[in-house]
Amino acid sequence: MSFRATVLTLYPEMFPGALGASLAGKALERGDWSLETRQIREHGIGRHRAVDDTPAGGGAGMVLRADVLGAAIDAATEASDKRPLLLMSPRGKPLTQARVRDLADGPGVIIVCGRFEGIDQRVIDARGLEEVSIGDYILSGGEPAALVLLDAVVRLLPGVMGNDQSGGEESFENGLLEHPHYTRPPEWEGRAIPDVLMSGNHAKIAQWRREQAERLTRERRPDLLDPQPVTK
């Protein structure tokens, strides 16, 4: 059974976007995974299909209504649906490669894309939405974040990358950033490929790559080497 992705959004025209090209697009055409978009506004209130309202307690912006979004989620799911319900949110848990692999090993995902100031907390609690963040910055909506998450997941599905071993040494797969890469020509603008990579000695090459990965991680992401415990 192929990986099934359902996206709840006010802008279904943003999909498949980049997911319709390259490896993900070819996999979509082959049926290795499927993508369904659902328009949240179909469950809007009144003649104008209103989906949002002013924040309780006052404040700027608008908030997606719980009744509207709850109905949209219910219409997209069945009792037997085992796919996790995700909400793309800057306050969510950071998306990690480990979580991406977990999702790729599952039946698919249902992704809610928020807009405006956010969504009513009651629907998050009532439907058990898992809030996921792709970084410490704010986007105009959850759609770009959903595209990022799906791209990360789809490339790990069986057969998508062609060589399933090609992802084994990438950044974050082993807790380190990826080592540098080189290819032809042997020398370019006075810069040569490191001799060890041309030596044919696979043990020394593996050692060099590990050392370079550790060096880059120490310089750029020391938090990966010494993660701080999560405080509650």
Q: Domain containing 221 — which CATH number?
A: 1.10.1270.20
Residue 162 covered by a domain: no
pTM (two decimals): 0.90
87-115: b (≥16 Cβ within 10 Å) or e = bbbbebeebebebbbebbeeebbbbbbbb
- Domains identified in the chain, total number: 2
User: Could you read off the pLDDT tens digit of each residue along the chain, which spans 232 residues?
Assistant: 689 999 999 999 999 999 999 999 999 999 999 999 999 999 999 999 999 999 999 999 999 999 999 999 999 999 999 999 999 999 999 999 999 999 999 999 999 999 999 999 999 999 999 999 999 999 999 999 999 999 999 999 999 997 555 555 566 778 899 999 999 999 999 999 999 999 999 999 999 999 999 999 999 999 999 866 655 5
Report the C-alpha gap between 47 and 20 in whole angstroms: 34
Residue 161 covered by a domain: no
189 with 114, same domain? no
Please name the residue that has the structure tokens 């069986």: 158
